[in-house]
Structure 1
């Protein structure tokens, strides 16, 4: 019997595909790019958008050499000129890329743009992969969280969040969690599919597990079902046990 495939959704670095959806990049109300771009996976977790020269609505002025990519090769930097404004080094080109069709295309520095749109939806944080799916499912599984013998959370009404290529996560109502053992931290993480997450540390006795719990107060549409719930991160520490129907996960 062949081995069971555990993650068939990893896109190999260097993959180049034609996109399907229209993408726009905007700086201070000025559209810099507007087209269905090429999707280029320099790294396996997310693509970058590459635009053909005719898709750009700004003047590009070469400004030097950029960092060399292990996958795409040598890069050239270009200033993006928008009237009397200049976004220094905000465009890149890879003239030696393995895929000939992308050698004349340009990618824009994400943070140099104010807003990105996929069709008419705002994209947050980085480009979205067309192969990632997020689902939230109400469940009646028994989830129990234990730290050094102390029950920190116990619920039979979790919301299970599944995301392509990642482990399933169980989000719990705060009324089923010992919130008195959780302390908010300043940590923040960002996801283009789920939104902005805030974190808590767990303290049991003299043991503190930093940033071991997270939650989304106002998640994006795909993850709306976990709004206001909290999720424990068992990979954070062997002291943090998350049991689902009696079976420990994340070890």
Structure 2
């Protein structure tokens, strides 16, 4: 079934206007992530990746995380555009979430800016915020996009989207 983009109003972005292959975009926003009752990152150096049908994935500098918050974890994955990813666990307070984050240590051409950046799955966090707005995780558990009020879907990962 072919998806029908939701209507948009002024100030709302449709994920169906995002490109494929995806594009990187520096954004002037403040991103915070809380886990285990602690703030594990507070960053303004933010890159988001925009890809058709997906909410943006926010990539933050590894150096923006509190010392010891990130640790290598098991597993890897491959993106046809960005290359090979590794997974990382994230610790805040007394909480550690396995495979909560990923990065591309040697990204494919065009995505080199991601080499020293990390993306986080919002679902297992206490809160992920963009300019103070608490984000919703992209549905489905596999993708790592963050949904904010200024986005229109439907979003990849929702029930019935496996064939998109």
Same fold (TM over 0.5): yes
Instruction: Assess if the C-alpha contact under 8 Å between 1:137 and 1:225 holds in 2.
Output: no
Matched, 1:196 2:84: yes
Partner secondary structure for residue 68 of structure 2:
helix
**Which of 51, 72, 75 is equivalent to 1:187?**
75
Q: Distance in 1 between matches of 2:69 and 2:48?
A: 23
* CA shift digits 1:142-195 (9 cap, x unpaired): 011111331101111111111122110111112211141222112201110111
Partner secondary structure for residue 141 of structure 1:
coil
Partner secondary structure for residue 45 of structure 2:
coil
- Superposition deviation, residue 137 in structure 1: 1.3
Q: Distance in 2 between matches of 1:138 and 1:8?
A: 19
- Superposition deviation, residue 203 in structure 1: 2.1
Aligned to 2:30: 142
Give the helix-richer structure, 1 or 2. 1
Q: Distance in 2 between matches of 1:230 and 1:179?
A: 14
Question: Which structure is larger by alpha-carbon Rg, 1 or 2?
Answer: 1
- Superposition deviation, residue 139 in structure 1: 2.0
Aligned to 2:129: 243
Partner secondary structure for residue 53 of structure 2:
coil
TM-score, with structure 1 as normaliser: 0.46
Q: Distance in 2 between matches of 1:134 and 1:174?
A: 22
* CA shift digits 1:191-221 (9 cap, x unpaired): 1011111111112333221100111111112
Instruction: Assess if the C-alpha contact under 8 Å between 1:134 and 1:222 holds in 2.
Output: no
Instruction: Assess if the C-alpha contact under 8 Å between 1:143 and 1:242 holds in 2.
Output: yes
**Which of 216, 219, 228 is equivalent to 2:104?**
216
- Superposition deviation, residue 7 in structure 1: 5.6
Instruction: Assess if the C-alpha contact under 8 Å between 2:59 and 2:117 holds in 1.
Output: yes
RMSD (CA atoms): 2.2
Contiguous gaps of at least 5 residues in structure 2: 9-13, 138-164
Contiguous gaps of at least 5 residues in structure 1: 10-130
TM-score, with structure 2 as normaliser: 0.68
Instruction: Assess if the C-alpha contact under 8 Å between 1:134 and 1:223 holds in 2.
Output: no
Partner secondary structure for residue 7 of structure 2:
coil
